[in-house]
Structure 1
């Protein structure tokens, strides 16, 4: 990557990326890990790569329309959530509670396998939430957005966002407990 491009802000890169592929590559490198995490938790690890590709194709096409009213990362989160919703609509995964994976056994699995399994369980649990709750919870817990940012991004009232997050967290806690995962406070 070009060091000069690496030092530019997201809005500067977005303006350049309309006509300079190298600037767009810097944006992709900078934001792909966060987009992948958000996608994996929403659609599952298996479909996340496809969603990431769809996100950056859509972002590239939409660069001319990016006005900079919101942060580039917030704009990218919206595109990611839209791509996740589209993917979930096509594949419609449903994971009955009785089919939830058993908790990892510390005796016969490595720590990496336990972490992978926990991520898969969390992803499955998130997919059971209504779309509005899943979106609010992932924006808060995965992307680290503030409540007001989530409200602005989703167009929901601040109180509605807080309620969706609280209900989503409660549903996740219940699902994970039934799956044998002990949530920590």
Structure 2
């Protein structure tokens, strides 16, 4: 049994309250949410820069826990911090092209892993072509699994606007991927 197992049954709200003074509770929050934060960062800044963004996110979370009032769910707050960190990272590297280098292939099936890495790279490129608002809404829905109401809360826009952005973003992605030769 690990230390994180002691915190596993706790909900995010309880962990946040404990994490203000307990580094182990904060570690449990990081363990619980790091993969989702990394996925969201990778699609917004590229896989090569995602690790740095994740680190920035959890530093910001740690610093801001004392001021987190709980008006929104912790996950909503975390997604907003993640998106803000992504935009800061993108702004800081405006002169550097998007890193779409495929991840190394898994040793068990190099051909399949290479195809998957190529597809992920193309999808990341396609997402980068979307306007910021559409990319944000689509990535929160498809990668983070948030429902429309949660996305509206994270982005601060009306529910209908979220639905419209996702619909337009998906259509633009389909068109871009189709032109790139990717078939469903």
Q: Give the TM bin, normalised by the shorter chain.
A: 0.7 to 0.9
Provide, for residues 14-49 of structure 1, a one-character-per-residue CA deviation record: whole Å limited to 9, x for no partner. Answer: 111111111111111110001111111111100100
1:50-69 alignment to 2 at 5 Å?
50-69=52-71
Identify the residue that residue 157 of structure 2 maps to in structure 1: 156
Aligned residue for 2:70, secondary structure, equals: coil
1:159 CA displacement: 1.2
Rounded Cα–Cα distance in structure 2 between residues aligned with 1:167 and 1:12: 38
1:69 CA displacement: 2.1
Identify the residue that residue 77 of structure 2 maps to in structure 1: 75
Rounded Cα–Cα distance in structure 1 between residues aligned with 2:126 and 2:16: 35
1:35-46 alignment to 2 at 5 Å?
35-46=37-48
1:109 CA displacement: 5.3
Q: How many residues align?
A: 174
1:89-100 alignment to 2 at 5 Å?
89-92=91-94
Q: Which runs of 5+ in 2 are unaligned?
A: 103-108
Provide, for residues 56-105 of structure 1, a one-character-per-residue CA deviation record: whole Å limited to 9, x for no partner. Answer: 0011111012222222122111111111111111223656xxx9x9xxxx
* Aligned alpha-carbon RMSD (Å): 2.1
Identify the residue that residue 131 of structure 2 maps to in structure 1: 130
Rounded Cα–Cα distance in structure 2 between residues aligned with 1:68 and 1:175: 39
Rounded Cα–Cα distance in structure 2 between residues aligned with 1:22 and 1:61: 15
Rounded Cα–Cα distance in structure 1 between residues aligned with 2:92 and 2:81: 17
Give me the TM-score of the superposition, normalised by structure 2. Answer: 0.87
Aligned residue for 1:181, secondary structure, equals: coil
Q: Which runs of 5+ in 1 are unaligned?
A: 102-107
- Alignment of 1:86 with 2:97, yes or no, is no
